[in-house]
Every structure is written in C-alpha cells, then in structure tokens.
Amino acid sequence: MQLDYLDELEAEAIYILREVAGQFEKPALLFSGGKDSITLVRLAEKAFRPGKFPFPLVHIDTGHNFVETIEYRDKMINRIGEKLIIGHVQDSIDEGKVVEQKGKNASRNALQTVTLLDTIAKHGFDACIGGARRDEEKARAKERIFSVRDEFGQWDPKRQRPELWNIFNGKIHKGENVRVFPISNWTELDVWNYIRREKIELPSIYFAHEREVITRNGQLMAASPFLNMDDEDLIEKRNVRFRTVGDMTCTAAVESYAYRIDDIIDEISESKISERGARMDDKVSEAAMEDRKKGGYF
C-alpha cells in the first residue's frame, strides 16, 4: 500500500524526532510560535505520547514579538504540559554581548543568533530541532536533516555528512551540536494542508485582519513601537495577514482576505510570491540566508 503524501511526510518527521530522542543526551525543540514549529509540536505529540516529550521547548524571544504569538505560546504550553525555556535577546543586549541595530531598518533578528548560541551552551543542548524546510530557500535546499554545527554554531556546507537511506548519523564531539529539521521535505502548502487535516490551532495573525501598517521597500510592515519610523512613513489601515511569524521588525504582511484556513490554502496555491519573499531578512543580499546559517542562525 502506498502512503498518501501527508501520511508519508508525517511518518518521516515522527521517525526523525524519535531518532533525536534515541541518539542524543540533551535535545531541545526550538519553538518560534510560527506555524512550522507549531506543526513540530503536533508531530512530537504523535511521536512520544502518552509519554512526555524527551526535550524541552526553547523560545528565543527577541522582545519584539507579536502579542498574539506570545499569548498563543503560553496557552499552548499550558495545554501540552511540557517545559518551556526562554532565551531573551534583551538579556544579551543588557549583558553587552550584542548591540541594538540603528537606523530605519533596525531589527533584532540578527541578534537572536547570539542568544540562541548562549542558550544552547548554558543548557548544554546537543541537538536542536527546528522547523526549517528545504523549499524555503536555496541554501536550505542543500542542508542535511541532521546538520552538524561546531561550537560557534557554524554550518559548513562543504563538510556535510552524506545522508543515506533513512540512516541519520548523530555522532558528535563535545561542544558540537546538531540542528535537526524533521520537516525538511515539506513545502509550505504541505504544512498548511497538514494543519487543516489535524485541525491545529494557530496564532490569529496568520489569518486576515485589519492592522496599521507602513509600506517599506515595497512591503507591508506592521506599525509597532519596535519599528523605527519617521515622518516619511505613512501609517495606514489595511486588511492583511502574515505568512510567516518572526520578529515584528522583519516580518512583512501580505494584503489578504483569507479569514479561514481554506481561504489561505487557496491563496497559497495561487500565490505568486514564495513565502520567504515576505521576509526582509533574506533580502539584504542574494546570499543572505547562507551567510546567516554559517554564522549559527537557525
């Protein structure tokens, strides 16, 4: 019998999560509050219930999150009864480890990397599960499911381990850790179809709502105290939703009237902008994602 594609993707992701549990001493699941990491939580329930997760959830909080994301996170943690560890970018700033960016496009997105690496070091995590997918971007298209990082969190695309069959080699030296991407082979549409099938609740900002926005570099950014605005920035009310959920200063909205998940799936099926096209953080240069990954980004 041939598995339906969603069943196959689900089974593969559960398999990968269980490999993490079996192969590592101290794994963690990186939870951003976005739909991909929310999907991971659902998959972890399928992998480990009725037992507890063999890892805590870790949220790297820039302090510039959407209110809706944080509310969602706390409610979800309460429901699943698992441990949440929060790494605050504000702490890294207060400790003088990073400096807040200046200027109009200032964002804490890049600062997260330091907080992430500090959080990994502090708790001694040897594997960090993330919700990245290979269809997002061409650097990710080349990354392994088990992606070994050195103690600086660096990804070296030239020294990746071959991954054969369903065999994942998680052996590492002390100080190294592995980023694991169970939904590597999913596309954006797959994630949405899965969310619909599993009836997974999402933060409200994924659905169309009215919001004050400004237009910057051709993209709609949520007006917020975290965005450096000046007189040239015109605030207007638009009907929007967010296709990814990151820091408020780097996540652009798209004009939308998709109020229900079926509308969203229709919208994506017809969409002519790929998902990361709505992320300012990749726009800086063509090799933006690759550079950030080498520096230890998710």
Return residues touching other proteins (CB under 8 A): 1-5, 7-12, 14-15, 18-19, 21-22, 45-52, 54, 134-135, 138-139, 141-142, 157-158, 160-167, 169, 171-173, 184-185, 187, 189, 271-274, 277, 286-287, 290-291
173/189 Cα distance (integer angstroms)? 37
| Distance from C-alpha of 152 to C-alpha of 280, rounded to nearest angstrom | 25
- Quick one: 161 or 209, whose CB is closer to other proteins? 161
Q: CB atoms < 10 A from the CB of 283, how many?
A: 17
Q: Token pair 């509310």 is at which residue?
A: 71
Q: Which residues pair with 251 in a beta bridge?
A: 279
Question: H or E stretch including 192?
Answer: helix 188-198
CB closer to other proteins out of 7 and 262: 7
Q: Which is nearer to other proteins, 104 or 142 (CB)?
A: 142
Shortest CB 292 distance to other proteins, Å: 12
Q: By C-beta, is 64 or 276 nearer to other proteins?
A: 276
**Separation between Cα atoms, residue 266 and residue 124, nearest integer Å:** 43
Please report how close the Cβ of residue 294 comes to other proteins at its closest, in angstroms.
9
Q: How far is the CB of 145 from other proteins (least distance, A)?
A: 10
**DSSP notation for 183-251:** TTT--HHHHHHHHHHHT----GGGS-EEEEEEEETTEEEE--TTS---TTPPPEEEEEEESS---TTTB
Tell the smallest beta-carbon distance from residue 172 to other proteins (Å): 6
Q: How far is the CB of 97 from other proteins (least distance, A)?
A: 27
Min dist CB 282 to other proteins, Å, is 10
Residue 184 vs 249, nearer CB to other proteins: 184
Cβ closer to other proteins: 51 or 96? 51
Q: How many CB atoms lie within 10 A of CB 204?
A: 16
- Cβ neighbour number for residue 85 with a 10 Å cutoff: 15
